[in-house]
Amino acid sequence: MNKPASLRAHLAKAIPELQRNPESLLVFVEEGSLISTAQTSESFELRYRLSLVLVDFVGDANRLFLAVLRWAALHQNELLANPDRRGDIAFEVDVIDHERADVEIRIPLTERIGVETLPNGENSITPWPEPRFDAQSWTNFGMVP
């Protein structure tokens, strides 16, 4: 699974509080499913919910949410482009005091994994890239590719 580490790295760059205190970000992979079509290809898909928990977060939650949306635009774009999926990124906030909160963000993710049998009999296992946003989708989200 590549997406949890990718999102963690993205948030570490985007959120100054995480640069100062990276251990305050906890990442969990939950409710995972392994999907195979049982066809001639052994390629498969991983489906899971990524749960990010920021402990004692003192930053601007809106900056955090924007960073998550920007990452999703590149790495799980149907969550933004598909009107039926736009509410799938969920969050909860536990307000600790007037400065700190615990923030949990839940994101449903998929990763497609290609499997090819090489001539020597070994398997080449490669994560497939995400489908690209079309130009109109980027414009609708207010971003430039």
DSSP structure class, residue 123: E
In a domain, 22, yes or no: yes
In a domain, 70, yes or no: yes
Give the number of other CB atoms < 10 A from CB of residue 117: 11
Give the number of other CB atoms < 10 A from CB of residue 45: 14
Q: Residue 89: give the domain boundaries.
A: 3-138
In a domain, 144, yes or no: no
With a cut of 70, say whether residue 47 has pLDDT above it.
Answer: yes
What tokens appear for 9 in the block?
Answer: 């790295």
Contact between 53 and 7 (Cβ < 8 Å):
no
In a domain, 145, yes or no: no
Report the pLDDT value the prediction gives residue 1, as an integer from 0 to 100.
86
Give the number of other CB atoms < 10 A from CB of residue 58: 14
In a domain, 143, yes or no: no
Q: pLDDT of 48-91, one tens digit each?
A: 999 999 999 998 889 999 999 999 999 998 898 888 888 899 99
pTM of the model: 0.81
Contact between 106 and 90 (Cβ < 8 Å):
yes
In a domain, 75, yes or no: yes
Contact between 127 and 111 (Cβ < 8 Å):
yes
Report the pLDDT value the prediction gives residue 104, as an integer from 0 to 100.
97
With a cut of 60, say whether residue 23 has pLDDT above it.
Answer: yes
Q: pLDDT of 101-139, one tens digit each?
A: 999 999 999 999 888 888 998 988 888 877 766 655 555
Q: How far is Cα 135 from Cα 73, in angstroms, rounded to an integer?
A: 12
Domains held by the chain: number? 1
Report the pLDDT value the prediction gives residue 39, as an integer from 0 to 100.
76
In a domain, 17, yes or no: yes
In a domain, 10, yes or no: yes
